[in-house]
């Protein structure tokens, strides 16, 4: 039996992504409406720019977003009918990243906590404690994930409107939290699958 190699990621799985991003030319906030196959290459059209060719294209978006793409991507989805893929449903979530000064301290006995009895907040983690790391030069950070019902209720609202609601709920749940130095609010319209393709369990 072939041995399986394991590796430690003390800074999280995102360190793999960051490793490759540092070796790449990264362009953010570009919409891709078309992807066409041209022989062994793929032509990618970024909105407002000329078409570029690549040896391979990796899509890391949810099925509804893939189905919106024009071009030849649909030809790769013949194994499962588009109608079934279009019926896949997802939960929607918000998350807050709170970043603190180096002197900040959290008076809690845990590094990560699942919250089962709160209508807004579902999970909290203090990143440096959770990963057993210290970043004295930049201070600790906290991530807060909200519940699925809260995400559905506020899905169509702007992040700027939802962020203060989550902060109020967080401070009621954990009174006495230090003031964050900066905050990032993230919305995932497509988070976890809630209803998958019946014939493709586990994919």
| Ranges of CATH 3.50.50.60 domains, the chain | 14-86
Q: Report which secondary-structure segment, H or E, holds 67.
A: helix 63-68
Q: Which pLDDT value is given to residue 72?
A: 84
Q: What confidence tens digit (pLDDT) does each residue in 153-202 have?
A: 998 999 999 999 999 999 999 998 989 999 999 998 888 887 787 766 55
Q: What confidence tens digit (pLDDT) does each residue in 24-63 have?
A: 887 777 888 889 988 889 998 888 777 889 898 888 888 8
Structure tokens at 75: 């030809």
Q: Which listed CATH number (3.90.870.40, 3.50.50.60, 3.40.50.720, 3.40.50.620) goes with 14-86?
A: 3.50.50.60
126/113 Cα distance (integer angstroms): 9
| Ranges of CATH 3.90.660.10 domains, the chain | 90-188
Tell me if residue 18 falls in helix, strand or coil: helix
Mean pLDDT of the chain: 82
Q: Does domain 90-188 have CATH number 3.40.190.10?
A: no
Q: What confidence tens digit (pLDDT) does each residue in 35-46 have?
A: 998 888 999 888
Q: Which is nearest to 143 in space by CA: 186, 102, 188? A: 186
Region of residue 100 (left: phi > 0; alpha: psi -120 to 50; beta: else): beta
pTM value is 0.69
70/172 Cα distance (integer angstroms): 46
């Amino acid at each position: 039996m072939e041995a399986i190699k394991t590796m430690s990621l003390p800074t999280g799985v995102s360190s793999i992504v960051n490793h490759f991003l540092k070796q790449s030319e990264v362009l953010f906030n570009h919409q891709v409406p078309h992807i066409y196959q041209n022989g062994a290459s793929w032509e990618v059209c970024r909105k407002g720019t000329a078409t570029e060719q690549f040896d391979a294209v990796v899509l890391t978006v949810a099925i509804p977003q893939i189905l919106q793409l024009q071009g030849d991507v649909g030809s790769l989805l013949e194994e499962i009918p588009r109608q079934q893929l279009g019926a896949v449903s997802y939960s929607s979530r918000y998350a807050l990243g709170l970043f603190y000064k180096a002197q900040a301290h959290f008076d809690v006995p845990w590094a990560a906590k699942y919250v089962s009895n709160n209508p807004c907040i579902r999970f909290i983690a203090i990143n440096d404690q959770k990963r057993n790391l210290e970043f004295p030069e930049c201070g600790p950070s906290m991530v807060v994930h909200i519940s699925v019902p809260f995400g559905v209720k506020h899905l169509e609202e702007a992040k700027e409107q939802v962020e203060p609601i989550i902060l109020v709920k967080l401070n009621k749940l954990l009174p006495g939290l230090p003031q964050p130095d900066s905050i990032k609010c993230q919305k995932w319209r497509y988070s976890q699958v809630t209803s998958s393709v019946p014939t493709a369990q586990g994919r």
